[in-house]
Amino acid sequence: MAFESLTNRLNKAFRDITGKGKLTEKNMNDMLREVRMSLLEADVNYKVVKDFIDHVKEKALGADVMSSLNPSQMVVKIVHDEIVELLGTSEASINFKSSGITTIMMVGLQGTGKTTASAKIANVLKKKKARKPLLVACDIVRPAAIEQLKTLGNSIDVEVYSEGADVPALTQAKNAMEYAKANGYDTVLFDTAGRLHIDEELMQELADIKEAVQPDDILLTVDAMTGQDIVTVAQSFNEQLAVTGLVLTKLDGDSRGGGILSVRAITNVPVKFVGQGEKVDDLDIFYPDRMADRILGMGDIMTFVEQAQEKMDMEEQAKAASKMMSGKFTLDDMLMQIRQMNKLGSLGGIMKMIPGMSQMAGQIDEAKAEGQMKKTEAIILSMTMEERENPDILRASRKSRIAKGSGTQVADINRLIKQFEQTRQMMKMMGNMGKNGKMPNMGA
């Protein structure tokens, strides 16, 4: 999972100083040394680390920190704000034209997720910005890219313009602009060719397309898992094409954080989007403060709430909540809850976004938890509606039928029913307390 060891080390450094009653220059220096080591180990560029520590030191030694009510927490806040500063302070959005067609050129090395990101961005623009996007398949070098873009476009209901692999990309880019004009599109995204390494031929092809379509944005996809290499790649592309934004992909993978923390400071190109999975919905607008919270293990509750609102059926959720509180919760409702949870992604991913739980996220056995969820789903699916509504009718013969149908054991079914009964009792109790005006203390 992204940043896990960086987050853990930084948290240890913070615990060390917040645990000490009084902040002295010595223990602050110890902490800064630890922060420095954590960043270097996460593969952050050494010059970026040096400047970072210098800035934190300068601010932390300022008179108002030592005399503040809680100097240790002030220092943690300074580190946090400095990370936000590194990441780019404000949200960087697409440079939309005020009138006419906005053009976005996607560039990047092969395999970084350029084609996937083109479709993901088209999807975000369509859903969140009410745009009418057209995707253009200009990657005629990688044989599967055209079909891949068409499949992705189909899944999000966005048209893909392509004249096949035999017509030069530049010709297709020009024709696509005409097509967009004639058909009322307001945004055109060009998925261009990549290579395994930067080469002159590629750069020339991209420069020609740039010249022809005059893009409002040139977005470079970089793979978060490649660490500091991101910086070198971004510098080369930027020198030759003047990149206007980065799309950081595969942040769901095991990245150490070095790339994301170095690239903005060195290239001065803002990150605009982050890709967090293979599905077309797995893209987020990049918010530096939320990312800093996540790196520091402070959770990212804003993104969690947004994803919940977007991916879960909130009306169904409200209905389920009132049903739960009245004690009328059934196994069918439980099934629905499991499915809604699944839409939010992996359990570890969800926990990472909740403040206070991110440290635990790395400790859970995801495969086991997911296996358990699947088992529960299979058991409930093997029950009749009547059984789901009223599990009291489950006698031995019904249980063995369900076990057979779901590929589980009768013991698994007993366990699920027991768990379900406990949940139902607890929900009912909470509902009653709420009615009496005595809300239970959830935090205790």
Binding site for ligand GDP (CB under 6 A): 108, 110-116, 142, 145, 148, 194, 221, 249-250, 252-253, 275-278, 282
Strands 187-191 and 217-223: unpaired
* The token pair that represents 12 in the structure block: 């240890």
* Closest to ligand GDP by CB, 249 or 358: 249
Annotated binding-site residue? 194: yes
Q: What whole-number distance in Å separates Cα of residue 98 and Cα of residue 171?
A: 26
192 in a known ligand binding site:
yes
Which CB atom, from 111 or from 362, has the smaller least distance to ligand GDP? 111
Please report, for residues 154, 187, 218, 220, the alpha-carbon distance to residue 123 in angstroms, rounded to integers and kept in the order given.
11, 12, 18, 18
Burial class (CB in 10 A: 0-12, 13-18, 19+), 122: buried
Q: 59: annotated binding-site residue?
A: no
Distance between CA 336 and CA 174 in Å, rounded? 48
The response to whether 252 counts as a known ligand-binding position is: yes
Going from the C-alpha of 327 to that of each of 102, 389, 405, 440, the distances in angstroms are 53, 12, 28, 16
Q: How far is the CB of 284 from ligand GDP (least distance, A)?
A: 10
Report in angstroms how near the CB of residue 282 gets to ligand GDP at its nearest. Answer: 6
State the nearest-atom distance from the C-beta of 371 to ligand GDP, in Å. Answer: 21
Q: Taking the complex as a whole, how short is the minimal distance between the CB of residue 145 and ligand GDP, in angstroms?
A: 6
Residue 108 or 259 with smaller CB distance to ligand GDP: 108
Phi/psi-derived region of residue 328, left when phi > 0, alpha when psi is between -120 and 50, beta in every other case: alpha
Cα angle for residues 240, 242, 247 (degrees, 5° grid)? 110
Q: Which two three-digit tokens encode residue 398?
A: 């019904």
Q: Is 195 annotated as a binding residue?
A: yes
Least distance from C-beta 161 to ligand GDP, angstroms? 17
Q: How far is the CB of 390 from ligand GDP (least distance, A)?
A: 42
Q: Which is nearer to ligand GDP, 252 or 333 (CB)?
A: 252
> Which of 191/216 has CB closer to ligand GDP?
191
Distances (CA, A) of 130 to 93, 122, 155: 15, 10, 17
Angle between helices 258-267 and 229-241 (to 10 degrees): 30
H or E, element range at 272 = strand 271-275
CB-wise, 205 or 252, nearer to ligand GDP? Answer: 252
What span, in angstroms and rounded, lies between the C-alpha atoms of 302 and 298? 11
Measured from the CB atom, is 239 or 254 closer to ligand GDP? Answer: 254
113 is in an annotated binding site: yes
Report whether 164 belongs to an annotated binding site.
no
Closest approach of ligand GDP to the CB of residue 357, in Å: 22
Question: Is 187 annotated as a binding-site member?
Answer: no
26 is in an annotated binding site: no
Measured distance CA(45)–CA(263) in Å, rounded: 9
Q: Residues forming the annotated binding site?
A: 108-115, 191-195, 249-252
Q: Residues forming the annotated binding site for GTP?
A: 108-115, 191-195, 249-252
